[in-house]
Amino acid sequence: MKNLKISIITVVKNNKDTIEKNILSLLNQNYKNYEHIIIDGGSEDGTVEVINKYKKHIKYFISEKDNGIYDAMNKGIDRVEGDIIGILNSDDYYFSNALQIVNNYFEKYNEIDFLFGSVKKHTLQTGFYPKKIFWTFGFYTSHSVGFFIKSEAQKRIGYYNTKYKYSSDYDLFFKMIVKFKMKGMATNKNEVMGHFGLNGLSSKLKYIDYLNENTQIRLDNGQNKFFVWCIHYLRFFKRVFRIIKEQSKT
C-alpha cells in the first residue's frame, strides 16, 4: 500500500469561530501522512491567536493581506510538498476517515488525476458528471472538502486565475476536464469526506454575480457564444420564476 502525502490548504480571514474545528478535524484524522498549510488574509478578530495554539501541528502558516481567496490558495500551492492537494476552507471540516479514503482511491486507481468525494452541503452532494460541465454548474460535489488533485496535475494546469472573484475553481475544473482532458472519479455515495459550512463566500454571493462570472469563464475558455448565452438566460429566468413562485406562497 502506498502512503501518499496529502497537502491540505486552508484559506481564512476573520473566522475565529470555526477555524479551530477545521484544524482539529485534521488532527483527528486516522490517516497521518498529511501537512496542513494555512493562509490567513490578515485577520484581526482573534483567528491568528487560535491558529497559533496549534502552530506545532501546522506545516506552514502566514498571516498577511492578499488579493482574495484564490490569491491565498495560490500562495498555499506554492508551499505544497505532498503528492495530493486538497482544499479545506475555514468554515469546513473533514470527518475522521476522509484522508484515508483519499489515499485508498489514489492508490487503487493510480491513473486518475483528481477525485471528488461526497460532501454534506445542505444535502448530501455525491457523484461526478463531467459531460455536464458544458451546460450546468452542478457536475461535481464541492471544491472545498470534496476536491483532491495530484500535485503534478495541479502544476500542469497552473494557478487559480485571480481575475475571477467567486468561481475560479470552476475555471480550473473547466481547464482540467476540457483542455487537459485529465481523468477523475467520485467516491462512493457513503464515503463522505466532511461538512461544507453554510456561511462561507458562496452564501454571501448575489446569484446574478455568480451567474455572470460563470458565463464569462465559459466564454474565456472558448465555449460557443450562442450556446453559452442561451444557458445564461435559461438559468436566469429559471431563477426568477422560482423566486416568483416562492413569493406567491407567502
**Do 128 and 179 lie in a common domain?**
yes
> What's the farthest any 2 CA atoms get from each other in the chain?
58
Say if residue 87's pLDDT is above 60. Answer: yes
The tens digit of pLDDT for each residue in 8-60 reads 999 999 999 999 999 999 999 999 999 999 999 999 999 999 999 999 999 99
Residue 172 lies in a domain: yes
Are 157 and 221 members of one domain? no
What is the extent of the structural domain holding 166?
Answer: 6-205
- Give me the amino acid identity at 212: N
Top mean pLDDT of 14-18, 135-139, 232-236 is at 14-18
- Contacts of residue 17, defined as CB under 8 A and 6 or more positions apart, other chains included, come to none
Whether 1 maps to a domain, the answer reads no
Say what the pLDDT of residue 145 is: 97
Return the pLDDT at 119. 97
Same domain, 164 and 121: yes
Q: How buried is 122 (Cβ within 10 angstroms: 0-12 exposed, 13-18 middle, 19+ buried)? A: exposed
Considering the domain architecture, whether residues 224 and 118 belong to the same structural domain is answered as: no
Residues 217 and 148 in one domain: no
DSSP letter (8 states) at residue 125: E
Averaged over 153-168, what is the pLDDT? 96
User: 107 lies in a domain?
Assistant: yes
Q: How many distinct structural domains can be found in the chain?
A: 2
Residue 89 and residue 200 in one domain: yes
Q: Are residues 244 and 168 in the same domain?
A: no
